[in-house]
Each structure stands twice: as C-alpha cells, then as structure tokens.
Amino acid sequence: MFPSNQDISSSTIEPGSFRDPSGFIFTFEEEIYRAIAPSYFEHFSLFTNSGLYKSLLEKKLIIEHVDKEKFLVNGFPEYKIIKAKQIPFVSYPYEWSFSQLKDAALLTLEIQKESLKHQMILKDASAYNVQFNGSQPVFIDTLSFEKYKECEPWKAYGQFCRHFLAPLALMSYTSVELSKLLADYIDGIPLELASLLLPRRAKFLNSGIAMHIAVHARMEKNYSSTNSAQRSKINLPKKKLLALLQHLEECISGLQLKKRKSSWLSYNSDNSYSKEAVQHKEKTISNWLKKIKPEMVWDVGCNTGKFSLLASNHSDYVLAMDADDYCMENFYCELKKAGNKKILPLKIDLSNPSPSLGWANEERKNISQRGKADALLALALLHHLRIGNNVPFAHIANYFSVLAQNLIIEFIPKDDGMIHKMLKTREDIFSDYTEENFRNAFETYFTIHEREALHDSGRILYLMNKK
C-alpha cells in the first residue's frame, strides 16, 4: 500500500537525473520511481497509447514500469509517478567492454527505428540511458521519447556519435584503452578530439567514421558560428533519417576489436595450481557460498570469470570485475552467447576503481555507493594489490570491509611461482608480506571463520565475516 502523500525529503532524488526538465528519479523504501513533469504528459501519453511502449516491452528492449497514480510527492503535486523495475546493479559506459558498448549502441538505434514507426523519436541518445541486466542491454529512460515532427533533424544525432560511435571507433582503430575517455567526457567524446586521435586509414576504410565523425566534427565547428534560425532550416525527411540510422548501424556493426594476446586470458592454464588444488578450491568456495547464501556476489579480479560462473550457482546475481579489457570482452561475449542474465561483467580496476563524477561529484557514483556485496570473492588478487600496487594489507582490509559483509579471500605465500615472477623485475621491499601480518590486518575488520589450505599449492583460502 502506497502513502497518499509522501514528503520528498524522506525520499532520495537521484543526482544523475537532475538535468532532465521532463522529470526526475527518486527512491522510496529502496524502490525506484520516476516523477514525470506536466510538460512531458503529452509525449508520455503518446509513448504509452501509441503502442510504442508495448512493442519495446514485448521485444525486451526497455525496462518495465507501473503507474502509481495514488503516490503523491509533496512539492510536486502535479507530477505523475511511475515505478520502474529495478536493475540489480547500475553500471556506466566507461566500465563496459567494447562489445557491451557496441550492443548498447545498436539497442539505441533499434529503439529509434521502432519509435519512428509510432510517430515518435528519441530526444536524446545518451549511453547512460542503457543498463545491463546480466548480459542483456535494456533501455531505462522512459522520458527520452517525444512526438516526431516531419522533416525535423534528429537532435540526438550528435550525442549518439559522441557517446557511442566515437569511443567505439577509437577502441577499434586506435586503442581499447581510450574507452577511459568516457569518464573524462561524461557527455561523450568530442568529435573533433576523436577525429584527431583516429588514424587516417580509419576514415578511408570506414565511410561511417569519415561521415559521422570527421565531417560531422567540421560541421559542428561551422554551425557554432551559425545562428539558430539558419540551423532550424535544415530538413531531414523520415526517409533520409531512416537511411542515416541504417548507415550508423552498418558502421557500428562493422567495427571490431583488434585481436591482441592477453597473458590473463591463459591464466587458468598458466598458473601454479595443480589439478587437485583447483578442484579443492572450487569445492571449498562452493561449500562456503552455500553457507553464506548470498543474494549478491562481487568477484573482484575475476580474470576469465571461472569463479563468477561458480558463484552464480549459489547466488541471485554476480558482479564480475577485472581491469583487463580482453578478459572482460571475452567473458561478456561468452555470457551473451549463453544468454546469461545472472552475471554482469565490468571493466573495473580495483586499485583505481571508478570514482564519483559529474556535477558536485554526484551524477555518477563510485562502486561502493551503488551497492554492497553479500559476499566478496578476492581470489588470487591479494598479492597483486600488496606487491603489484604497493597497497598495505590494512588499506585492503578496510576497503573490503566497506564493500561486503562476507569475504572469501585467497592468500598466496611468497614462495609461490607467480610471486617469483612478479619480483623478477623489481626489488623485494615487502618484508611484511606474511600470512601472520595478513591475518592481523584483516582481523581488525573481519572475524575469521574458516581457513583451508589448498592441496599441493601452499595457497590458503579464508572465510571471513565483517565485525
């Protein structure tokens, strides 16, 4: 039963939605709601009554919403309220693999084409309008649609190119690492910058890049000195708009990620575990997860996703994080092929996780602000943080206690072959790297429940619970 009147002060307005004059998102009792402004009523009515919403919902392209007519918010009495189906974890474009961003782009174009069939159009084409339910992209912004006016240019065209085409082209032709620019430019990578960073051959090999990035960048520069009256004279009939959308789709579909070897892709077969140790590790983790019974598991430093898949058998949802672009790309493609909606793979480096960004550092939240794990898996990761990144045990323990209630962590002794490899190229200044010091640091924040030495490896698993 919903209250007849609810003070907005006891709810939480989502900072990431404050720029939209059509409405805003807020939470109440951990549920997600959208308040729709009167100025958008006409468009929203067309969205629901034209059959567009039903069509998108049937095709599983958009998030489901339910009207909450009796839910009133003080200060916004005229606003219409809808309740949206909740996504298990909110992610951002700069955390997605190449194929995730590509699929989000193609989803946006598909929705745009479907909208035109119902005499509507996307007024914006932000990558933040898309979220992932496991490996399935889904559109979440029900206020992005407006009535289509014949011959009017697509006002979201530039935004689409900045949010999707520019980063995908840079990842494909220059470096996959350039997706990180999306964190610096939260309204998309400027087309002029993208054009400068792309090699000449990209513009010759792909006509879409030449047209939608290089030429588009020059046109934007020219239009900046053109008055609005002149710009408004530009006509784009529906037939030409559909041709534009088709060209964008073909351009993006043709982009591929350069094949490159990653040492982490072969980690499962190139490590210091024996077959018996691997089996022992899998069995122990499975047994511990059965005891914990977590709804949400975070697998940090998930590598190829082997233990994320295992964790998904004992939980409702798994957030799989790793810093390696190619590991996350391969894992996402595997999950997509299998139709897996229980695991969300994200490209996140735990030694430098996604920060809070945007206006007042509140529009885009860091990972600890977006949710918490019932169980955190930190397998074969501790030595990378302590030795590879010089992070003291105490700092690691403190951060892990912020992220999760339960912790399954692996300690690898210094005489392990993988640590020997790490120390070949640097001085061993890590005299504190001992199991005793590890335990002392973590026992400040956690209670140790179980310790399991893995067969024939010297490696040790710990099950801990936050104090």
Q: What is the pLDDT of residue 2?
A: 44
- Residues 202/209, Cβ–Cβ less than 8 Å: yes
Q: Strand, helix or coil at 146?
A: strand
Residue 84 — left, alpha, or beta (φ > 0 → left; ψ -120 to 50 → alpha)?
beta
The b/e string for 146-172 (b: 16+ C-beta within 10 A; e otherwise) is bebeeeebbebbbbbbbbbbbbbbbbb
Cβ neighbours, 10 Å, residue 464 = 25
The residue behind tokens 């997860």 is 289
Name the pTM for this structure: 0.93
Instruction: Characterise 358 by phi-psi region: left (phi > 0), alpha (psi -120 to 50), beta (else).
Output: left
Query: CA quadruple 261, 186, 107, 207: dihedral positive or negative?
Result: negative
Task: Look at residue 1 in the predicted model and tell me its pLDDT.
Answer: 36
pLDDT in tens, 14-42: 888 888 999 999 888 888 899 999 999 99
The whole-number pLDDT of residue 420 equals 85
**What contacts 24+ positions apart, CB below 8 Å, involve 422-430?**
422/383, 422/384, 422/387, 422/388, 423/387, 430/386, 430/387
Residues of the chain with pLDDT under 50: 1-3, 264
Concatenate the DSSP letters of all residues of 359-384 into one string. Answer: GGGTSB--HHHH--EEEEEE-S-HHI
The pLDDT value given to residue 54: 97
User: CB-based contacts of 87: which residues, under 8 Å, 6+ apart?
Assistant: 63, 131, 132, 133, 138, 140
Q: What Rg, from alpha-carbon coordinates, does the chain have?
A: 25
- Whether 435 and 413 have beta carbons less than 8 Å apart is answered as yes
The three-class DSSP label of residue 385 is helix
